[in-house]
A and B are shown apart, each in its own frame.
Chain A
């Protein structure tokens, strides 16, 4: 153990307590939302953590209207397209940054960092005007483009760190073994970079999936409104009805893809995949 010291019962208990504290802190709000989504309209405000009377009515309600389904399709489509493009472009850019020496490399790296740090709020109004002029407002590309802009620096940074970890000699060895540069990339570098690519894909996907600012500002109809934005338009069947239950249900539903995504790719993010390539 790096920290040193024997694993005594006292240590175990202390660490156990800390672990539980962190888990409670992180999970209670999530569990609360799940709990709300299963409550009936009458018991919604009773303050019980575990619903007194269970119901699936909220879930039935959100899927009964086309509004939520349409938003879900928009969310999935926009996030996946933006992720794929950002990761593919990011992989190429990161490989070049990690491996090649080209003029303007430092400027490129600095610029992408600058974009990542740029406050998005200040871009919303100009983007709104530009997209209306170009006819991109309230379309899928209208959201995909800004998402890629902000996801690219993230993917370039994460991926170039991964590429730097891959010993350069492996590429030389592949060349000596008779591979073309493309073959060397495909058969040796890409499989080794896979964990990095998947990690980046998850991060970028979450970034796009969770975005509310652009989604609410650059859309106006169900044509391209994503779930986070659509949630804010939820109302009850009448003006006076409280939509908390349905919003909670919708929140639970849009959390599921993220969990599935992470669980699915987690198996591929095997640490130490490169161990054994070189001495050590």
Chain B
């Protein structure tokens, strides 16, 4: 059990490349923290620095109040689960899991009882005498977890532990990782690029971009109050819709029509000293089929009509994809997000919008539909620096 503090931790490579810049994170005892971001954002480097596999260029890493910058990995009492599992192929599952204990010179009886106990938690008892080569991907992943669990370390580090599993297994393992962490109550630092894992697993999420921390907070807080365009676009699936807009006289004019700002939003925007040209962001679930709403509800937002390109019916809800004419919202953050998700390569004019409509909606593909969205839920961003102008604690 341990509290881990990263105090202005920085990683600078000899060639001058800055991988991680002044990261400040305080992980309290027993907390489950997720490091998330697109590839190359420095999340794995940060994890390796905590593990001791990479040197810290400047700043301080403290575990339980003690500086550990100079300590070797083995002296930090931290266990790590690797993306590739890194199981020892020449050892049986039992020996793989027992390896840390053997190195610690624990007596045979204790080793066996601890391994058996961990195997029971992970449902590996039947496979203890097999070798990693004869195991399935999910079983290998569990062995890697087991190797981390047996020695009862003060913290777990996990480097994208589920990314090599297929979608169904990943879902199951996600639940069991969460269960095991709660059961053991061990401080955990978990790296992923999968925002679903970030949302569902962590107590708090740290969003990284290019080596800089963008925002730290609970998943729900990050979802509701993103600090900037990057966090807004990264967290949430399907992601937030962005369109350029002009802010004048208390209303927002964009391809989605003109919205009168609610008092709450107007106060925030004024306090933030917003420029004229902004980017407006709307979450898919803040849209609704206008025909399903009564007049009173409609007054709280704006209605526009659009032609549905693709309609995905999930049974409980419908996702309507449509394109609105006009400029596409551009900013460095959005370009990076698009590059990471691959959507930068998808050609198309105008802004692609995804709206989550109620299952009762009569929208059909190729037909025009009246879409309403909630004016109080819009986010307004500064295109110059990506800052959320409607941010509130």
Binding site for B on A (CB under 8 A): 167, 169-170, 172-180, 183, 187-188, 191-192, 272-279
CA–CA, A94 to B87, complex, Å?
23
B212 within 8 A of A: no
| Nearest CB in chain A: distance from B292 CB, A | 47
Please pick, from A169, A176, A276, the residue contacting B89 in the complex, using a CB distance under 8 A. A276
Contact mask for chain B residues 86-113; partner A; CB cutoff 8 A; 1 contact, 0 none: 1111100000000110011000000000
In the assembled complex, the Cα of A272 lies from the Cα of B90 at a distance in Å of 11
Which positions 31-81 of chain B face chain A at CB distance < 8 Å? 51-53, 72-74, 78-80
Report the bound CA distance from A150 to B157 in whole Å: 46
Q: Bound state CA distance, A49 and B61, in angstroms? A: 79
30 contacts between A and B (CB under 8 A): A167-B84, A170-B88, A172-B53, A172-B82, A173-B82, A173-B147, A174-B88, A175-B72, A176-B51, A176-B73, A176-B78, A176-B157, A177-B74, A177-B79, A177-B99, A177-B100, A177-B147, A177-B151, A178-B151, A183-B103, A187-B99, A191-B90, A192-B89, A275-B133, A276-B133, A276-B135, A277-B87, A277-B132, A279-B85, A279-B164
A277-B85, A279-B84 given; name 5 further pairs at CB < 8 Å.
Answer: A176-B79, A180-B72, A188-B88, A192-B90, A276-B132
Fill in one digit per residue for B109-149: 1 if any A CB lies within 8 Å of its CB, else 0: 00000000000000000000001111101001000000100
Residues of B within 8 A of A175 (CB): 52-53, 72-74
Instruction: Give the distance in Å from the alpha carbon of A79 to the alpha carbon of B132 in the complex.
Output: 38
- Chain B residue with Cβ nearest A179: B103
Query: What residues of A have a CB within 8 angstroms of the CB of B79 in the complex?
Result: 176-177
Separation of A173 and B53 alpha carbons in the complex (Å):
10
Determine the chain B residues whose CB is within 8 A of the CB of A183 once the complex forms: 103
Contacts of A178 in B (CB 8 A): 74, 100, 103-104, 151
What CA separation (Å) do A180 and B52 show in the bound complex?
13
A179 adjacent to B74 (CB under 8 Å): yes
Residue of B whose beta carbon sits closest to that of A101: B14
Give the interface size class of chain B: 20 to 34
By a CB distance below 8 angstroms, the chain B residues around A277 are 84-89, 132
B103 touches A276 (CB 8 A): no
CA distance in complex: A167, B99 (Å)? 18
Chain B residues lying within 8 Å of A272, measured Cβ to Cβ, are 133
Q: Is A276 in contact with B140, judged by CB distance below 8 angstroms? A: yes
Residues of A within 8 A of B51 (CB): 172, 176
| CA–CA, A115 and B190, complex, Å | 49
Quick one: closest B residue to A171, CB to CB?
Answer: B86
- Chain B residues positioned under 8 Å from A176 (CB to CB): 51, 53, 73-74, 78-80, 157
| Interchain CA distance A272-B134 in the complex, whole Å | 12
Residues of A within 8 A of B73 (CB): 175-176
Give Cα A201 to B100, complex, Å.
Answer: 32
Complex CA gap A278/B89 in Å reads 9
Residues of A contacting B132 in the complex (Cβ-Cβ under 8 angstroms) = 276-277
Given A170, A173, A278, which contacts B80 in the complex, CB threshold below 8 Å?
Answer: A173
Q: How close is B256's CB to chain A, nearest CB, in angstroms? A: 44
Nearest Cβ on chain A to B149's Cβ, whole angstroms: 12
Residues of B within 8 A of A279 (CB): 84-85, 137, 140, 164
Q: Which B residues, 163 to 220, have Cβ-Cβ distances below 8 Å to chain A?
A: 164
- A277–B82 Cα gap in the complex (Å)? 11
- How far apart are A146's CB and chain B's nearest CB, in angstroms? 36
Q: How far is the CB of A169 from chain B (nearest CB, A)?
A: 4
Q: Across the interface, which residues of A come within 8 angstroms of B134, CB to CB?
A: 276
Given the complex of chains A and B, what is the CA–CA distance between A111 and B262 in angstroms? 75
In the bound complex, residues from chain B placing their C-beta under 8 Å from that of A188 are 88
When distances are taken between beta carbons in the complex, the residues of chain A under 8 Å from B72 are 175, 180
Q: Which residues of A contact B99 (CB under 8 A)?
A: 174, 177, 187
Taking a contact as CB atoms under 8 Å apart, the answer to whether A273 and B80 are in contact is no
Closest residue of chain B to A274 (Cβ to Cβ) is B89
A residues in contact with B147, CB < 8 Å:
173, 177
Kindly provide the distance from the CB of A127 to the nearest chain B CB, expressed in whole angstroms. 42
CB distance from B392 to the nearest CB of A (A): 41
Residues of A within 8 A of B86 (CB): 167, 169-170, 172-173, 277-278
Residues B87 and A276 in contact, CB atoms below 8 Å apart? yes
| Assembled-state Cα–Cα distance A278/B87 (Å) | 7
A226 CB to nearest chain B CB (Å): 37
- Closest beta carbon of chain B to A112's beta carbon, Å: 26
Most buried by B among A169, A173, A175, A277: A173
In the bound complex, how far is the Cα of B144 from the Cα of A169, in angstroms? 12
Minimum CB–CB distance from A171 to chain B (whole Å) comes to 9
Complex contacts, A273 vs chain B, CB 8 Å: 89-90
Name which residue of chain B comes closest to A279, CB basis: B164
Which residue on B lies nearest to A272, using beta carbons? B133
Task: Give the distance in Å from the alpha carbon of A183 to the alpha carbon of B72 in the complex.
Answer: 14
CA distance A12 to B72 in the complex (A): 59
Expressed in whole angstroms, the Cα–Cα distance for A180 and B71 within the complex equals: 12
In the assembled complex, the Cα of A272 lies from the Cα of B89 at a distance in Å of: 10
CA A177 to CA B147, docked complex, whole Å: 8
Tell me which residues across on chain B come within 8 A of A172, comparing CB atoms: 51, 53, 80, 82, 86
A192 and B132 CA atoms in complex are apart in Å by: 14
CB distance from A78 to the nearest CB of B (A): 33
B359 to chain A, nearest CB (A): 39
What A residues does B131 contact at CB under 8 A? 276
How far is the CB of B209 from the nearest CB of chain A, in Å?
26
- Which residues on the A side are within 8 Å of B87 (C-beta)? 173, 276-278
Q: In this complex, what residue of A is CB-closest to B77?
A: A178
